[in-house]
Chains A and B, each alone.
Chain A
Amino acid sequence: MSTAKNSDFLLEIKDLKKYYPVRGGFFRKKIGDVKAVDNISLELKKGETFGLVGESGCGKSTAGRTITRLFKPSDGKILFEGRDITNIRGRELRNIRQDIQMVFQDPYASLNPKMMVGSIVSEPLVNYGRGSEGKLKEEVMNLLTKVGLPEDAYYKYPHEFSGGQRQRIGIARALALKPKLIVADEPVSALDVSVQSQVLNLLKSLQKEFDLTLLFIAHDLSVVKHMSDRIGVMYLGNLVEVADADEIYRNPKHPYTKALISAIPQPDPRNKSKRIILSGDVPSPQNPPKGCPFHPRCPEAMPECSEKRPLLKEVNNNHRASCLLYE
């Protein structure tokens, strides 16, 4: 392993791409690509929560799964603790998975209904030969308590729990191996607000306690802002803006980020802010527009926006945006 020069960074992603092949015709020949992740570069500092936000289909889940190497990247580089994990396979990949865990959106689908909660949470420990025989159960009980479940949850099955509790089970499982990085893909999107706040508080306190680095994916900017130190905004497979959470909200640069923020209905009837209403629909990632991916809908588009592709560039201290207005 290299002695990482950027030792502050747990994870570095450079020009990451993930394309899904589109097949058609009689011979199921490849006829195109869904450019689900077209270009993402970012770094996660140790111990930070980085929020990835964007609308449906912009590639958040694909990005999350490619970063955790559940998927093989189409192009680009992924460095974990300075080590290139872009193309590792087999035993190496298996080993790295101990350090990188995922929590999924759907607490109903992501847990095996036939397994006892105790087995679900201990499975990763058993798989990696961690946690000694006698201690295993104690360890799992500890984890269950940590995530706020009663100890007798150990002997129950997922269907006996509510959505919020199932999400806690998923979190306990992800924590079992004491990973360095957790990628949480819409962990609260399926939950009611009153339960959502319980799970968000839990994630935040665990992140502190275990000094976790957290990649928090969601489509709800209020939730992402509450959770994150820094935020990246995605549009059509591209990262279009990155900044500190507060900065992105107070001082958005990219026209898409501005529209996104203005579109969020605020729970305050005395403060009906002006919405920026975007025209048109999100283009298909199979056939993204030339130039800036946002130009067909951008209220600030200039003639060159349909020709030239903007790059993610520093526009302020620690504030990057990809928009020709700032080039």
Chain B
Amino acid sequence: MSNNEKLLEIKNLHTGFDIEGKTYHAVKDVSFDVKSKEVVCVVGESGCGKSVMSLSIMDLLPKHNGKIDKGQILFQGKDLVPLNTKEMNSIRGKDISMIFQEPMTALNPVLTIGFQMDEVLINHTKLKIEDIRKKSISLLKQVGISRGEQIVHEYPHQLSGGMRQRVVIAMAIACQPKLLIADEPTTALDVTVQAQILELIQNIQEEVGMAVLMITHDLGVVAEMADRVVVMYAGQVVEESDVDRIFYNPQHPYTKALLNSIPRLEEEQEELNTIKGIVPSLKNMPLEGCRFVDRCPEAMPECKKITPRLGETEEGHSVRCILYDASRPKSEGEVRL
């Protein structure tokens, strides 16, 4: 595999928050990469560090208490972590764009849609001023808003949630970024609107040939969108592989349990499988051993002592669990699930 095929490489990322004088890591040793033109989904339950991870990439962490402690974020081979704000600004919105769950976080309520779109184009492209508005309108067309000529004169509150998310997507793709980071872009939307937006993202991704890093907690969305999947639990990557293997050959007990606990439309189930307990909070995170140990149906005594590493179990499939740690001696009669 040639190295330049990797668009984004995250290596041993540690992002911490200072809470009452102590540093707690919301992202602890996260590594994965995104190849160009690939759709990677990061999936995990609330609080597992998905947003903190994506804010780390964009250098959008809250300045007063959050910071990257360790690790690298290589974009086209160049580490973004040491860059200053000005250098990041030239990358943000141009080579890497981000959209959020709540489109209003990206829109200014007192400015017209047209004004805000024009501004992105003025800042990041060399378009002539007289062509800018035309481009804004054509971008709106591209995201399925046909009344672009009128919408540019309207304010965000005049649009529905789905329309606003389209506008935000139009702004995000304005400069043909190489990477789009989408943090739960459809979580606030109804399923029928979600279907519209997911299809839109897929179409643009294919058209423009950008890579997408999509963050979600919905395994349905993952199955629909992803080429590759990164499963996060409690600030760590616990499993990573292509979408087919995640769903048809999951290895980490958390991935298996998660897949088992969702109700499925096509099946009759009397009872759902559950995962006992809840995700530990930042302050209650086990300091050593596996972070899933208290909830894991396959936990063994040593899981509390040995901190598992993320390691390949087969080509293109990594798991963080001592069941798969080759260095661990096998006990007699142990079955690998």
Interface residues on A, range: 35 or more
A168 to chain B, nearest CB (A): 12
Residue-wise, chain A 254-276 has the 8 Å CB interface mask toward B (1 for contact) of: 00000111111111111010011
Tell me, yes or no, whether A170 is within 8 Å of chain B by CB. no
The winner among B195, B199, B219, B266 for most chain A CB atoms within 10 A is B195
Contact residue among A164, A221, A226, A270 (Cβ-Cβ distance under 8 Å from B272) = A226
Q: Is the CB of A266 within 8 A of B272?
A: no
Give the number of chain B interface residues (Cβ < 8 Å).
47
Task: Give the docked Cα–Cα distance between A147 and B192 (Å).
Answer: 34
Q: Is the CB of B223 within 8 A of A278?
A: no
Among residues of B, the one whose C-beta sits closest to the C-beta of A273 is B224
Tell me, yes or no, whether B125 is within 8 Å of chain A by CB. no
Q: Is the CB of B263 within 8 A of A223?
A: yes
Given A264-B265, A267-B223, A268-B223, A194:B274 Cβ within 8 A: yes
Q: Is the CB of B278 within 8 A of A164?
A: yes
Tell me, yes or no, whether B76 is within 8 Å of chain A by CB. no
- Which B residues touch A263, using CB under 8 A? 191-192, 194-195
Within 8 A of B (CB), among A40-58: 55-56
Task: Give the docked Cα–Cα distance between A119 and B257 (Å).
Answer: 35
Q: Is the CB of B259 within 8 A of A277?
A: no
Task: Give the docked Cα–Cα distance between A281 and B223 (Å).
Answer: 26
Among residues of A, the one whose C-beta sits closest to the C-beta of B279 is A192
Tell me, yes or no, whether B196 is within 8 Å of chain A by CB. yes
Q: Is the CB of B224 within 8 A of A272?
A: yes
A97 to chain B, nearest CB (A): 31
Contact residue among B191, B222, B257, B265 (Cβ-Cβ distance under 8 Å from A55) = B191
Within 8 A of B (CB), among A226-274: 226, 246, 249, 259-270, 272
- Which B residues touch A268, using CB under 8 A? 223, 247
Among residues of B, the one whose C-beta sits closest to the C-beta of A194 is B275
Within 8 A of B (CB), among A157-212: 162, 164, 192-198, 200-201, 204
Tell me, yes or no, whether A219 is within 8 Å of chain B by CB. yes
- Which A residues touch B195, using CB under 8 A? 262-263, 265, 275-278
Task: Give the docked Cα–Cα distance between A221 and B223 (Å).
Answer: 17
- Which B residues touch A266, using CB under 8 A? 220, 223-224, 265-266
A-B contacts counted at CB < 8 A amount to 120
Task: Give the docked Cα–Cα distance between A264 and B266 (Å).
Answer: 12
Tell me, yes or no, whether A320 is within 8 Å of chain B by CB. no
- Which B residues touch A261, using CB under 8 A? 265
The winner among A55, A198, A249, A267 for most chain B CB atoms within 10 A is A267
Residue-wise, chain B 243-265 has the 8 Å CB interface mask toward A (1 for contact) of: 11001100000000111011111
Residue-wise, chain A 130-162 has the 8 Å CB interface mask toward B (1 for contact) of: 000000000000000000000000000000001
- Which B residues touch A221, using CB under 8 A? 191, 265
- Which A residues touch B263, using CB under 8 A? 197, 200, 222-223, 225-226
Please list the residues of chain A having a beta carbon within 8 angstroms of any beta carbon in chain B: 55-56, 162, 164, 192-198, 200-201, 204, 219, 221-223, 225-226, 246, 249, 259-270, 272, 275-278, 281-282
Beyond the given pairs A265-B218, A267-B262, 10 more chain A to chain B contacts, judged by CB atoms under 8 angstroms and listed by A's residue number, are: A56-B190, A194-B274, A197-B273, A198-B276, A222-B264, A249-B266, A260-B191, A264-B191, A265-B194, A272-B224
